[in-house]
Structure 1
Amino acid sequence: MIKTILITGTSSGLGKATARFFAHKGWNVVATMRRPEKEQELVHLPNVLVTRLDVQDRASIATAIEAAIARFEQIDAVINNAGFGLFGLFEATPPEKVAEQFNINVFGVMDVTRAILPHFRQNKGGLILNISSGAGIFTLPMLSLYCASKFALEGFTEALSYELASQNIVVKLIQPGGIANTKFGQRTGAEAVENARISGYDRFVAHTNAVFESLRDVRQATEEDVAKVIYQAATDGTDRLRYVATEDIKPMVKARRETLEDEYIAFMRTRFGVKA
């Protein structure tokens, strides 16, 4: 029996690559996005329904789920992929941008999840895949709000997995790092430009940007590489919770999880610790 997956944020980047990958694997795909009228590729793939879903609009979430069930009768899995990253100094970030970061990366995931659960319980099972980040495991300066949203997502997902196991619903986390050909970085850069400059941070910002520039030299995965990991998580038949999806973050993940706390914090402070 052909399975059906609903994916949020498929207009570009990882979401589109994942929709494409699952469709090529023979799944029915509900590719959701805020402006489906602009989509020109996914609409031509067989067994793909392109429909509107804005994670900040609860009515659109319900409508998208209804459209998916009307087309394919049943939804077997959901990928909460829609998200973006604020880059810049916390002090320079307006409160409305902080709210947007959490509305999309956290509360949007919660609203989509809440909306699909009655359908999954009715079907006696389902799968939820939440796209997290290396920034949900370790933190980096200039990404405090993005890290905060992904730490929240990690905590929510882990706790939810215990609850939903009682309903035969599996919940998983995908943790990518750098993705070479995604537009995510473009959005992050645009957010940084909007941040007002605070002169007291100039030396710190220059140093931190130099560190980030050096990290870009590390080989980054492609969207398709990460889509393969997502597909593996969706099809391996296990209740494994976390999947580190790119090689570039594995050293940082290992350091965060296996290094003594004082040693790890000292390492990070040495790397980013520039005073005024």
Structure 2
Amino acid sequence: MAKTVLITGTSTGIGRAAAILFAKNGWNVLATMRNPEKEQELTQLENTLVTRLDLEDVGSIADSIQQGIARFGKIDLLVNNAAYGQYGIFEAIAPEQIEKQFQVNVFGTMNVIRAVLPHFRQEKQGAIINVSSAGGRIGIPLISLYVSSKFALEGFSEALSYELASQNITLKLVEPGGVITPFHETSAKFFASDDSLTDYQAFTQAAMDKLGQMSEDISTAEQVAEEILVAATDGSDQFRYAVGKDAKGWIKDRTSMDDLTHTRHMRNFFGIDTKG
């Protein structure tokens, strides 16, 4: 009997690539998005159901899960992919923008997990893959809100994984670096700026140039989707799956250096004077 996966954020990017890949590998796919009425491609895939799920609408989460169970009998795997990035200097970001970043990336993900756990416990098994980021392991300027939301997701996921293991439910993290998707274009629309904060202008421009360099060797959405499938099917106890040469390099630097060395390394990279 085919297994069923629920994937959030399948309208573009990683979520879309994952929906297509799982369907090609014989899974039933519950492909969720905020505006399913606009979808034309995924609705044509075999054994795929496209439903509305908005991370800021708890009712839509429950409805989507119920539709998936009604169609396929059960859900075996949840892939929490939906997220966005709030970019900009922290001082320029309004409180409501900060709240929305966490409402979507953290609380929304938590709400989907909370909604599916009773079903997993009833089935006495299940699996969850949270799509995090290499930015969930290292602090990066100009995206402090995004990386802090992913730091929160990482800590939550690690702690929760032990609770769920007692119920025969697996939880894993996939950590991409830069990915060729519309994600950054979408996030650029949310870039916070304040013309009165002139003190940051030189740093902001230099940091944006460096971030561009960090994104030169990046993965495709399909490569991340392939790693999600590996994490879902390898049967191992591995918890974190880094994707991409860039992500693996950043994480290696962070985990192999002590805090002081890494701080100096990052300040040097972004052109910030480091005192001895």
TM-score by length of 2: 0.96
* Alignment partner, residue 143 of structure 2: 143
Asked if 1 retains the 8 angstrom alpha-carbon contact of 2:55 and 2:109, the reply is yes
Q: Is the partner of 1:156 in helix, strand or coil?
A: helix
* Alignment partner, residue 204 of structure 1: 203
Offset at residue 273 of structure 1 (A):
4.5
Q: Is the partner of 2:87 in helix, strand or coil?
A: coil
TM-score by length of 1: 0.96
Given residue 184 of structure 2, which amino acid in structure 1 is its aligned partner?
Answer: G
Q: Distance in 2 between matches of 1:136 and 1:210?
A: 21
* Alignment partner, residue 239 of structure 1: 237
Q: Distance in 2 between matches of 1:252 and 1:7?
A: 27
Asked if 1 retains the 8 angstrom alpha-carbon contact of 2:214 and 2:246, the reply is no
Runs of 4+ in structure 1 deviating by more than 6 angstroms, as ranges, are: none
* Alignment partner, residue 268 of structure 1: 266
Query: Residue 11 in 1 paired to residue 11 in 2?
Result: yes
Offset at residue 214 of structure 1 (A):
2.1
Q: Distance in 1 between matches of 2:48 and 2:122?
A: 24
* Alignment partner, residue 190 of structure 1: 189
Q: Is the partner of 1:142 in helix, strand or coil?
A: coil
Q: Distance in 2 between matches of 1:55 and 1:214?
A: 32
Residues 200-219 of structure 1 deviation map (CA, whole Å, 9 limit, x = unaligned):
111111111121122233x2
Q: For the aligned residues, what is the CA RMSD?
A: 1.1
Residues 158-212 of structure 1 deviation map (CA, whole Å, 9 limit, x = unaligned):
00000000000000000001112x01010121111x5323211111111111211
Asked if 2 retains the 8 angstrom alpha-carbon contact of 1:4 and 1:75, the reply is yes
Given residue 202 of structure 2, which amino acid in structure 1 is its aligned partner?
Answer: R
* Alignment partner, residue 215 of structure 1: 214
* Alignment partner, residue 33 of structure 1: 33
Given residue 73 of structure 1, which amino acid in structure 2 is its aligned partner?
Answer: G
Aligned residues: 272
Q: Distance in 1 between matches of 2:127 and 2:247?
A: 25
* Alignment partner, residue 227 of structure 2: 229
Offset at residue 254 of structure 1 (A):
0.6
Asked if 1 retains the 8 angstrom alpha-carbon contact of 2:175 and 2:247, the reply is no
Residues 211-268 of structure 1 deviation map (CA, whole Å, 9 limit, x = unaligned):
1122233x21111111000000000012211000112121111110011211111111
Structure 2 residues without counterparts, runs of 5 or longer? none
Structure 1 residues without counterparts, runs of 5 or longer? none
Residues 47-81 of structure 1 deviation map (CA, whole Å, 9 limit, x = unaligned):
00000000111110000000000000100000000
Q: Is the partner of 1:56 in helix, strand or coil?
A: coil
Q: Distance in 1 between matches of 2:209 and 2:68?
A: 46
* Alignment partner, residue 57 of structure 1: 57
Q: Is the partner of 1:191 in helix, strand or coil?
A: coil
Q: Is the partner of 2:147 in helix, strand or coil?
A: helix
* Alignment partner, residue 154 of structure 1: 154
Deviates more, 1:207-216 or 1:3-12: 207-216
% identical aligned pairs:
50
Q: Note the 1:61-72 alignment, pairs <5 A.
A: 61-72=61-72
Asked if 1 retains the 8 angstrom alpha-carbon contact of 2:133 and 2:175, the reply is yes
Query: Residue 176 in 1 paired to residue 204 in 2?
Result: no
